[in-house]
Amino acid sequence: MHARNPAPAAGVSANVVEIEYVLSRMTYVAARAWQHERLMAAAGLDLDRAAVSVLRNIAAGDPVRPGVLAVRLTVEASHVTRQLRQLERIGYVVRVADPDDRRARLVQLTDAGLAAVERVREASRRGVELALADWTPDELERFATLFRRLVHDFLAHAEAPLNFPDRAAADRKPRPG
């Protein structure tokens, strides 16, 4: 366990404390502005983090309504509208008629937008590959499996109501007869 971690509270696994600490550090590093700037430099692009999130989300599926995109990104619709205007202006997205409802508009990537997403993905993959260069193929496979599971479980937890168990009740042991 990392030396600066506090001792686990009663009933909390030392592994859970370590995982929480490492996730906190990872989140901090990933959210730093300089990290995004490095990624954009490696990709040869000048996009802010929000624009990259919008592009990557659109690229992950079929053309999408702006409101659905806002829900997926868990942001206000006005935020997505501003990003889409910027991305439209630079030629990365276009609005097209929704075949199921001609009054509605869908957003899809242009060829230039898809190329930008691919450059971001490639730069990101190169960064991960460099960071994990000393890992064995077996370690990478095990980590990918566990990390995928972690993300799945965290997403499921994030969508569920908070329901923390009562620690005091969990720590109490029934007394014999």
When the pLDDT of each residue in the chain is averaged and rounded to a whole number, the result is: 89
DSSP 61: S
State residue 90's pLDDT score.
98
The whole-angstrom separation of Cα 106 and Cα 96 is 5
pLDDT in tens, 151-165: 999 888 887 777 766
* Residue 148 scores a pLDDT above 90: yes
pLDDT in tens, 57-66: 999 999 999 9
* Residue 73 scores a pLDDT above 60: yes
State residue 160's pLDDT score.
74
**Residue 40: which of 111, 133, 127, 110 has the closest Cα?**
127
Find the mean pLDDT for residues 25-34: 87
Which domains, ranges and CATH numbers included, belong to the chain?
A: 14-135 (1.10.10.10)
**Residue 112: which of 120, 101, 104, 103 has the closest Cα?**
120
Question: 163-167 contacts: CB < 8 A, separation 24 or more?
Answer: 167/9, 167/10, 167/11
